[in-house]
Amino acid sequence: MVVFVVLIVVVAVSVLTLRPNRHAGDAPAWIVVAATNHLPELRREWGRAMAAELTAIPGRAGRWRFAVGVLRVALFPPVRRRSRVLAVAGIGLAAAVALEVLAVNTVPNIAVFAGALGPLLAAYATLLAARSAQPSWAAAYAVVVGLGALGVLAAIAAVVRVAASHPAATTDPTHVYSIVLAVILVGYLAVAFAPRRRLRTLWWVVGAAAGFGAVSIGFALTAPVGPMGVGPEPALPVASVAVVIAAVGVGLTTHDRAAAVRAGLLTVALTAPAHVATDLLALLRVHQFTLTDPYDIAAYPHSGFPDVASYLLSDAISGEIISGLVLRPVILGLVAMVAATAATARSRIAAVP
Amino acid sequence: VTRVRRPSPQTLAVLEALADEPDRWRYGYDLCTQLGLPAGSVYPILMRLADRGLLETSWAVERGPARHLYRLTEAGREYATAHAVPLKPTPAKRAARPRIAGA
């Protein structure tokens, strides 16, 4: 319940603070501006055309109808190269089937996860092919995409490694965790791949995320191992510092709060899967797992797990899905908003006549 | 062999509306109201027609923000005729049009 309340508050704050133009007018005007901002690059002029057209539409009902129509165009813009889209969809589907076959034959415990991940990735690749004519691969954007993909791959690799070494730890009778993990990871990938306009500001994100990655990996590989893993874990403070650096850096250079918040949120999106991967990687270094928590000591005998390691690793994976990929990013997102607000406060005060 | 797809009834309706006065520049919203079609249907059709070189676009500088205008190209008129959309005869004097920016 608390999670949903926090999510609703964050979404509401984001919508209120990040809307493209606060003076765009009524709700239909805001919807049209927001929708047309998300059109693919080659349809931007059409977006401007539809936004301009709204100014000539009288009456509230007509404006709402037009706004809904524009929203539909933004969600499903016409496909320009149908053959390319079909080719990507076909290749994606074949890759998804191959991934599933591979999972069933090598790590059957994650077959449901692979079965959800493959089609989702194929669908996302098809969507990308349908929305862009020629993807722009500016250096900063390419590095952001690379870091995002690396983080997601690392998280997948960590889960696969757990499944291979302790199959019972990844048993998921309801399949809910498997599907949720696949959906969330593809979501993070989509955030990394989303087109960017201010490419220079991306270097702040790249620096912050790469710094976080280096410190976390170094810690996960070298920190002394205890009975419950490695610790105390510095990843959350390091992630917070990375998010603050990105948000403040962009805020101070652009004096644009929305851009600073976006930079902070992108840093969160790039670091969250990597954070999960390093957490699991650190835990896998433990050779002799020991129960220390009174609750675990009482619950383990009735859990059905064959060994303590599987019990603790299963707990860690589900914890990482909920906490590492949802709750922690929400908290870091709030940190990004506060940092961006603080960094741009002076310029906003100066702008007041 | 190139497969020629028959345009949808909505596309034919848009073609017919544009072919009705082929020289006249039309606004997107005017087409929506004339045809009773939502913007979510009309604009994708206009985009596809423009992608195929059947529609020319322009920005009209009038009072207020510039608005986008549309009319069939020569190829668009031929396409409309080929798909049995009757073209009205072009008047001797070209239809008055709004001042065009970057036509």
Q: What is the ipTM of this complex?
A: 0.79
Highest mean pLDDT among A189-198, A262-271, B2-11: A262-271
Q: Rounded to an integer, what distance in angstroms lies between the CA atom of residue A154 and that of residue A162?
A: 12
User: pLDDT tens for residues B28-55?
Assistant: 999 999 999 999 999 999 999 999 999 9
What's the average model confidence in pLDDT over A228-245?
Answer: 77
Q: Out of A56, A65, A77, whose CB is closest to B38?
A: A65
What's the average model confidence in pLDDT over A305-323?
Answer: 88
Whether residue B32 and residue A68 make contact (CB cut-off 8 A), yes or no, is no
Query: Measured at the alpha carbon of residue B78, what is the angle toward residues B73 and B82, in degrees to the nearest 5?
Result: 145
Beta pairing, strands B26-27 & B67-72: antiparallel
Could you say which residues from 69 to 108 on chain A have a Cβ atom under 8 Å away from some Cβ of chain B?
A: 69-73, 76-78, 80
**Helix (H, G, I), strand (E, B), or coil: what is residue B101?**
strand
Identify the pLDDT of residue B89.
59
The mean pLDDT value of chain A amounts to 84
How many residues are present in chain B? Answer: 103
Residue type, A280: L
> Please, which residues have CB within 8 angstroms of residue A169's CB and are 6 or more apart in sequence?
A162, A163, A305, A309, A310, A311, A313, A314, A317
Confirm or reject contact between B36 and chain A (CB < 8 A).
no
- B98 or B9: which carries more pLDDT confidence? B9
Nearest CA in chain A to B33: A62
Whether residue B65 and residue A52 make contact (CB cut-off 8 A), yes or no, is yes
Identify the weakest region by mean pLDDT among A174-178, A214-218, A270-274, A327-331. A214-218
CA distance B92 to chain A (A): 30
**Helix (H, G, I), strand (E, B), or coil: what is residue A293?**
coil
* Percent of all residues in chain A with a pLDDT value above 70, rounded to a whole number: 87
Tokens of A297: 């000591």
Whether residue B68 and residue A80 make contact (CB cut-off 8 A), yes or no, is no
What counts of helices (H) and strands (E) characterise chain A? 14, 2
Identify the pLDDT of residue B90.
55
pTM value surpassing 0.90? no
User: Is A23's pLDDT higher than 70?
Assistant: no
Tokens of B33: 């109201």
Sort out which chain A residues have CB atoms less than 8 A from B28's CB and list them: 49-50, 53
